[in-house]
Chains A and B, each alone.
Chain A
């Protein structure tokens, strides 16, 4: 009886310990969120650095509005960049994954890891030629008399189209990886049966693989949306023109300027994080799968 009681107590106190440890860890992860939210809600007059941890006495949206005013055009740029790049790179990844899983050819098994290597490289190692080539694209557009109305679509240096193009190209490895691993789980018998029924390569994709692809599309699109929205190095180097900078670069510049108060910077950080945070909150399941695929064994 006594031993049983002691056992009960031990079990429950260790339970309690687990919860306490988890709550302590939660505090670490929530600390920046607390400061971000509290600071963003403070008025200009109230936001002094020493009182960083105090709750706002009179919550105001002043900082948010100031930050939004500064970041608005860059939000638009980020959406113009992220949405087409996400859609196109997902489609490309789907086609590649389809070929590499259901239309294997001699050497495709060797080709795949060679493609995958592209997602691990430090992008510094391709940045200098990339800038040169994209500048050359602009010169070519100039020489070919591309009409001004279509200039926005030329994937050259210093344009959103150019940045989107770069994200699509360097997104090939990860999107191909996720789709290939996903399609590998689709039984080959389904494909063979469709072929016997006379379906060609497009029809097999359209009627067999594509309808099954929605979970993979969700994973890839969420992954690409998040990474392109959050990306910084390409955006920084390929956009000299302030008007086309995505929101990460704009936030970086906002935070680097001494004229902008720190509470506005914090509100800006919260705003810049919002789209991907919302995606995470509502579609977290798919985000997790993308994350784990990044470690190769999807």
Chain B
């Protein structure tokens, strides 16, 4: 009995350094950043005097930050959509008992082993538009040109597609008091699709792997039973497979969603803020503001904004999955 309690003390001592490290380096530092975001620290010299919520008020009034929020929403939507479409599609194809499944699976997954910086540098050159005016094309545009397809200016395109106030829809929106929807801040920056393509190239294999694991956990008898009852292959997927894959989709949305909110490396390596902030994201804005502009309190407010958005996504998921684990 005495020895057991001695072991108990040692077990606590073994894990204590990690608990302290997390307490200080995660929670302590978050609190510290929160404090910095409420301070007057602007410049190299730390100044932690109280400023209140001024930095947040300034932040939300900054045009660049408003554009960043738009860009994050656009990026997240298309990135998740493309990854789920491609990942689920390929997983279903690979699940048909095909030859060379291992080969294909490894092929679709290898970009996950690569740094976002490598991906960014490579796709920056692949999507370098060249000069469509003189016909001196480069990268993907050469292929598109040869096939007679329309060219794109990729990440150098400053165009933002939004509902024109003069269009019929735009006029209607203005009449019902939703005129703000007819501004570029509620549009889609075309340059962002270059980032979406590169990010999808890197992450869709991961989504494929998750869906494939999900498909494999569905017993074949369930599908067979439905087929015996006369269900078509599409109905089997629609009514049996897809509903059973819902937990996988939830995991995918959480994992990719939080990566997409935090995305920094890829944007930094590919296009940085882009023309008219067309590819700017909060994480990059934070980096520039803090470590290149020395506006520490302003940078901290962006960091806390990022943390809050990621937490809104992750905390419910964490408590859900640990609670479910406790029930099992």
Contacts and interface: CB of A to CB of B under 8 A. Distances in A.
A binds B: yes
Contact of A229 (B115, B119, B123, B261): B115
B286 A233 contact: no
B12 A265 contact: no
B222 interface: no
Interface in B219-254: 251-252, 254
A124 B305 CA distance: 10
B32 interface: yes
Interface string B1-42: 001101110111011001101100110111011001000000
B283 A22 contact: no
Contacts of A170: 25-26
B261 A122 contact: yes
Nearest to B113: A280
B26 A32 contact: no
Question: How many A residues touch the partner, as a band?
Answer: 35 or more
B118 A269 contact: yes
Given A111-B19, A173-B22, A248-B115, A32 B122 contact: yes
Interface string B77-97: 000000000100110011010
Given A35-B126, A116-B318, A288-B209, A276 B306 contact: no
Contacts of B317: 296
Given A50-B130, A95-B14, A230-B114, A121 B251 contact: no
Interface residues of B, number: 99
Interface string A230-267: 11110011000000000010011001000000100110
B13 to A, nearest CB: 10
B99 to A, nearest CB: 9
Nearest to B10: A201
Nearest to B111: A29
Contact of A21 (B32, B93, B302): B93
Interface string A260-292: 001001101110110011011100100110011
Contacts of B117: 230, 232, 248, 251-252, 269, 272
B304 A125 contact: yes
A65 to B, nearest CB: 19
Contacts of B59: none
A18 B96 contact: yes
Contacts of B74: none
A223 B326 CA distance: 26
Given A233-B265, A265-B121, A266-B125, A117 B299 contact: no
A167 B16 CA distance: 18
A273 B115 contact: yes
Contacts, number: 259
B128 A35 contact: no
A121 B137 CA distance: 41
A253 B94 CA distance: 39
A176 interface: yes
B21 A169 contact: yes
A73 interface: no
A31 interface: yes
Contacts of A201: 7, 10-11, 14
A233 B290 CA distance: 13
18 contacts: A18-B96, A29-B205, A31-B126, A32-B123, A52-B142, A111-B19, A124-B286, A195-B4, A200-B3, A229-B115, A232-B265, A252-B268, A262-B125, A268-B121, A272-B117, A273-B113, A279-B113, A291-B112
Interface of B: 3-4, 6-8, 10-12, 14-15, 18-19, 21-22, 25-26, 28-30, 32-33, 36, 46, 86, 89-90, 93-94, 96, 98, 104, 106-126, 128, 130, 136-139, 142-143, 201, 205-206, 209-210, 213, 251-252, 254-255, 258, 261-262, 264-265, 268-269, 283, 286-287, 290-291, 296, 299-300, 302-304, 306-307, 310, 314-315, 317-319, 321-322, 326
Given A32-B201, A35-B125, A122-B303, 19 more contacts: A15-B98, A18-B93, A19-B98, A21-B89, A32-B119, A35-B122, A103-B11, A112-B322, A121-B26, A124-B264, A126-B30, A132-B46, A232-B264, A255-B124, A273-B113, A280-B113, A281-B110, A292-B209, A297-B251
Interface of A: 15, 18-19, 21-22, 25-26, 28-32, 35-36, 39, 49-50, 52-53, 92, 95-96, 98-100, 103, 105, 109, 111-118, 120-122, 124-130, 132-133, 169-170, 172-173, 176, 195, 200-202, 226, 229-233, 236-237, 248, 251-252, 255, 262, 265-266, 268-270, 272-273, 276-277, 279-281, 284, 287-288, 291-292, 294-297
